[in-house]
Chain A
Amino acid sequence: MPLIDTRGRLFGRLNLIDAALLVVLLALVPLGVFAFRIFQEPLPRIDAVVPASQPAGPARRLRLKGANFRPYLRVFVSPTGEPFSIGERHLDPTEGHFLIESPGEVEIQLPPVAPGSYDLYVFDEMRQVLVRPSAFTIEPPRSGPLRVMVQFVAIGDVADMVKPGDTDLMKTTGAPSASGAVIQSIGEPSRAASAVLSYGLSSGRGTLAIAGPARTLDAHVSIPATLSEGGVWMYRDQPIRPGDTIAFETSRYALRGLVISVSTPDGTSDAAGEGRSKP
């Protein structure tokens, strides 16, 4: 049988034009699938947020694992349970930096966030494409009362004014602690010593030093400190380590002292000259 017979039919059965039409129709199927895959814009998907929880601190980061991430996406964070809103247009404190590594993995530099649970909102240029409620948690920094042995240097008769229960009133800008350190117990004031007090001059050029009689006073102080990023216990912007100096002020007196030993809430302790010790 000829391929095309004398009447122009394919294999003697199908008209050539009809056959061409059939081929076009069949070709449309893969073409349609191809076009759909090309032009269809799949929504991004988050499978996992890593880490789901992390301590508070500056420059927090997250990794999103999922699919269909694109570089032009924008991500915002909002405290869980609160309506998502923004305050300022150009300096928005709720937007994170979206750093895409692959369509399935993204790193996000979070804006400054306080401890708490947060929702994630993902936007393309013109609409919200994804919400992940309670996506991650920022834990409050580890804190607790430190039991600290301090050797205060008291000028003149100040040592006589110090009583157990006295609370530090010293205010420091950005102080993390709401309450102050409390003197729990004091020892006997030591023999006479001398102290050199140094004051910065208002002109900003040089200092004025005054030497005078003083006594040392050992005291156990309970200090509400927080553990910083670097693993240092901090109290009102001051590191609390053996060998550090500490200021203590009430409405009646002001003291400066030297940290001798520190006992942390989990029982470990550090002491000047002893190295790190196990409980």
Chain B
Amino acid sequence: MVNAVATLAAIAVAIAWTSSPLTVASLVVLAMACRWAARDITGAERRWLIGAFVLAAAARLIVLAVVLLLTDPAREQFHGLTPDGRYAILRSLIQLNYRLGVEIGPFNRMSLFDGYGNNAFYLYLALVQRLFGPAPYGIVLVSVCGFLIGAIVMYRVVRADFGPATALGGLVTVLFWPTWFAWSVSMLKESVQFLLTVTVVWGAVRVMKGGIGGALAFAATGCAIAITITLRSGVVAIPIAGVLLGLFGLLAARRPSAALVLAGALAVFAVVGVTRPAAKARATEEIRMAVGRHVGNVRSLGNPYKTADQRLYSDWPESWTTTDRDEGIRFLLRSAVAFVLVPLPWQVGSFAGLAILPQQFAWYLIVALAIPGVWFGLRAAPQLTMTLAGCCVAGLIVVAPNSGNIGTLIRHRDMIVPFMAWLGAAGAARIARG
């Protein structure tokens, strides 16, 4: 009986491997990640952890199977859940063919070397498919694995400092956050970027413990930062700001006087820098460019929101070059508020858009809970709290002034939602304890 079951299992694995080696490898990786995350956890927490992880993975696998079944071979070579995700897969396959010497023709060659939207992401996807064979459906599992592994690594990091309730609460929120679910089953950069950001955060926390593990964590952090730069250079500010603030938090906890001196020095440096004419001119130029990008986004297709003075929209396209100091300050403040509040219910432009409202209300709740989360977290785990808060603040600084479209804002804001979710979970857990 055992032999027969083993034989059938071997046949099933052989069929699966023949059909999609990348799927088999991804499932093995997910199983190992789950096993690693639950290695020393017992009881109800273990059941919740494994249950949530398996449910999150199974739901995503079902969506991928549906995407496969929705393919109409008479109309398209392969199907993708989102246009951008499908384009990423297509471009990676063109890249793969090019590297393998398969003729792709001048049209594809031109698009391959087109600077617009070009980054190393497609090259990495091509590399994966070089190892496992072309996989227009299986490659999306890279996104699934990136997100799930990132979430579970972050769970372990948070659990060590904030405890099981906060870690598990944040994990469940992140795993089933609707828009993150959509990004993780599309071949978008978001999931891989999330894993890289988490790697940097994990590395910064782990490196303080020293030893060989610390050295490896330091190396992993460096690699993750380097790879993030090749994906979206601006986004690397999020983990770096988080790590620097986290280290400052650690310093403040261990050497308060040294931290005070450092903070004072930085404040003096900032004041002197801001008052210098060259720095003022540079800041003005940056704000004007941000206004230009914002107004450009508002004027493009989609569902926009406005944060600048009306003059800057009416006098487009020259207006942004004449943005003065007061207009710039008002624009930055309104953008920061909009980063948290948009979309307000009356800003949703379509009936289908109403589907985002439950998530939006959940987002407001998380932000509200994150405030006590930071307050209590600074006492319990200053480095991790400052790291998470640093990631959120950096995300706000990078995303808020450069957005003008609600859909794009939600997608970019999701880069910090996981970190905010764990801070919110910390606040909720502390309030629940009373």
Contact = CB atoms under 8 A, between A and B. Distances in A.
Given A70-B74, A72-B75, A72-B77, A128 B103 contact: yes
B75 A123 contact: no
Interface in A62-89: 70-72, 74, 76, 84-86, 89
B1 A72 contact: no
Contacts of B90: 125-126
- Classify the interface of chain B: helix, strand, loop or mixed: helix
Contact of B105 (A20, A25, A39, A76): A76
Top 4 closest pairs, chain A to chain B, by CB? A128-B103, A17-B4, A126-B93, A86-B106
A92 B110 CA distance: 12
Contact of A72 (B11, B76, B94): B76
Contact of A71 (B74, B106, B114): B74
A158 interface: no
A18 interface: yes
Interface of B: 1, 4, 7-8, 11, 15, 19, 73-77, 90, 93-94, 97, 102-108, 110-111, 114
17 contacts: A17-B4, A18-B4, A21-B4, A28-B11, A41-B77, A71-B74, A72-B76, A72-B77, A89-B107, A89-B114, A92-B107, A125-B90, A125-B93, A126-B90, A126-B104, A127-B94, A127-B97
A24 to B, nearest CB: 7
Contacts of B103: 127-128
B4 A89 contact: no
B83 to A, nearest CB: 13
Contacts of B104: 126-128
Interface in A1-45: 17-18, 20-21, 24-25, 28, 35, 39, 41
A34 to B, nearest CB: 13
B75 to A, nearest CB: 6
B4 A20 contact: yes
Contacts of B74: 70-71
Contacts of B8: 21, 24
Nearest to B15: A28
Contacts of B76: 72
Nearest to B5: A17
A71 B102 contact: no
Nearest to B94: A126
Given A18-B4, A125-B90, A127-B102, A71 B75 contact: yes
Interface residues of A, number: 28
Interface in A255-278: none
B427 to A, nearest CB: 48
A74 B111 CA distance: 15
A20 B11 CA distance: 14
B105 A24 contact: no
Contacts of A95: 107
A121 B103 CA distance: 11
B108 A126 contact: yes
Nearest to A92: B107
Contact of B97 (A21, A71, A89, A126): A126
Contacts of B94: 126-127
A105 interface: no
A89 B11 contact: no
A123 B1 contact: no
A24 B14 CA distance: 14
A71 B77 CA distance: 10
Nearest to A73: B77
Contacts of B75: 71-72
A162 B105 CA distance: 58
A17 B3 CA distance: 10
A88 to B, nearest CB: 9
- Please indicate which of the listed interface residues B73, B97, B105 has the most CB atoms of chain A within 10 Å of its own CB: B105
Contact of A17 (B1, B77, B105, B111): B1
Given A71-B75, A128-B105, A89 B93 contact: no
Contacts of B110: 86, 89
Contacts of B11: 24-25, 28
B105 A123 contact: yes
Contacts of A107: none
A221 to B, nearest CB: 47
Given A18-B4, A72-B75, 10 more contacts: A17-B4, A28-B15, A35-B19, A71-B74, A76-B107, A85-B106, A123-B107, A125-B93, A126-B97, A127-B108
Contacts of B77: 41, 72, 124-126
Contacts of A128: 102-105
A169 B403 CA distance: 63
B132 to A, nearest CB: 16
- Please indicate which of the listed interface residues B73, B94, B97, B107 has the most CB atoms of chain A within 10 Å of its own CB: B107
Interface in A126-177: 126-128
Contacts of B15: 28
Nearest to A28: B11
A89 B108 CA distance: 10
A125 B94 CA distance: 8
Nearest to A18: B4
A99 to B, nearest CB: 14
A80 to B, nearest CB: 17
A39 B137 CA distance: 13
A125 B75 CA distance: 11
Contacts of A41: 77
Nearest to A74: B107
A213 to B, nearest CB: 65
B238 to A, nearest CB: 33
A92 B108 CA distance: 13
Nearest to B4: A17
A126 B19 CA distance: 21
A87 B334 CA distance: 46
A84 B105 contact: yes
A166 B277 CA distance: 78
B275 to A, nearest CB: 48
Contacts of A125: 77, 90, 93
Contacts of A25: 11
- Please indicate which of the listed interface residues A21, A28, A35, A95 has the most CB atoms of chain B within 10 Å of its own CB: A21
Given A20-B4, A70-B74, A126-B97, A84 B102 contact: no
- Please indicate which of the listed interface residues B73, B90, B111 has the most CB atoms of chain A within 10 Å of its own CB: B73
A95 B107 CA distance: 10
